[in-house]
Amino acid sequence: MVQDASIYLAGKKLYGDDFTQEQIEEWFKHEAEGYADLWASDYEKYNYAYHKLNAYYGFRHLANHSMRTALGIGSAYGDELFPIAKRLEKITILDPSDTFADVREIAGTPSQYVKPNVQGDMPFEDAEFDLITSFGVLHHIPNVSYVVRECFRCLRPGGIFLLREPMVSMGDWTKPRPGLTKHERGIPLKILRQIVQEAGFEIQQEALCMFSATSAIASKLRIDPYNSRVATLADSALSRVFAWNDRYHRVKLREKFGPTSVYYVLRKPG
């Protein structure tokens, strides 16, 4: 699908964001069941790995916000919403996979699953949700700018959008990459910042996280890094120290030491 990936790998343009309808449909065919096939097809073996990360960068900022309804984009079984589910009256999950469609409640809160529109249109009313979460999902989607604008439309004034995405290329996606879906790619930091601002969001927090060596070190220590508060805090410190390294496509060894993701707390004005 890519003729010349150099402009994308340089982080100057986001691959997929200007696709035609035909290209979007082709992309969607490959990504719809991608995450479920790789990691989440068997709930008995499924382990959500980011509870402490979400608590530190996201949920602790919601203490003073009233919330009744939440939309989880690509939230699989809804585990990411467990920590705040009891504060909600209803949870909606927007996910293309049939794997999760039978889930009817999340930590005791009623939930419903809705399949996304291939074009990115969300089948919801304006200002329908108090909270929207999207953790590591948008980089699986071609037309990121459009989907972010839809999130803005569906969020009530004063509502919060928690967003985490990889800001590195994740390798050259024109070639097979073990453990990754066919088209997923990170979103360059400057481009993602521009996308959320142009959609209308106020940036309440922009934090770099998921230092490149954290998972490897944690594995040796037999720690689940982002389900550990201590490891998450250590990762945060390392990410701040190496925040200068925001290069998108990291090839040389010295380029690879740095935070790999960005975590946003975004607010819709009003």
Tens of pLDDT along 224-248? Answer: 999 999 999 999 999 999 999 989 9
d(CA 82, CA 88) in angstroms, rounded, equals 10
* Predicted local distance difference test score (pLDDT) of residue 243: 96
Q: Which candidate, 58, 53, 107, places its Cα nearest to that of 85?
A: 107
- Identify the segments of the chain with pLDDT beneath 50: 1, 36, 38-39
d(CA 148, CA 152) in angstroms, rounded, equals 6
Strands (E) in the chain, as ranges, are: 69-73, 90-94, 105-106, 109-114, 129-135, 155-166, 202-211, 259-267
Of the candidate CATH numbers 1.10.760.10, 3.40.50.150, 3.40.50.620, 3.30.360.10, the domain formed by 6-209+262-267 belongs to 3.40.50.150
Helix/strand/coil for 187:
coil
CA-to-CA separations, 42 to 74, 164, 193, in angstroms, rounded = 16, 24, 35
* Predicted local distance difference test score (pLDDT) of residue 43: 58
* Predicted local distance difference test score (pLDDT) of residue 12: 94
d(CA 187, CA 190) in angstroms, rounded, equals 9
Q: Is the CB of residue 152 less than 8 Å from the CB of residue 198? A: no
* Predicted local distance difference test score (pLDDT) of residue 3: 56
If one counts every other C-beta atom within 10 angstroms of the C-beta of residue 89, the result is: 11
* Predicted local distance difference test score (pLDDT) of residue 177: 87
**In the block, which residue shows the tokens 């960005």?**
262
Q: Which candidate, 58, 53, 56, 263, places its Cα nearest to that of 160?
A: 58
Q: Which candidate, 117, 159, 125, places its Cα nearest to that of 141?
A: 117
* Predicted local distance difference test score (pLDDT) of residue 258: 96
CA-to-CA separations, 263 to 28, 59, 112, 134, 222, in angstroms, rounded = 25, 12, 26, 10, 25
Beta carbons within 8 Å of 125's beta carbon, 6+ residues apart: 154
Phi, psi of 107 (to 5 degrees): 50, 40
* Predicted local distance difference test score (pLDDT) of residue 38: 47
CA-to-CA separations, 126 to 69, 121, 201, 202, in angstroms, rounded = 13, 12, 15, 18
Q: Which candidate, 180, 184, 97, places its Cα nearest to that of 140?
A: 184
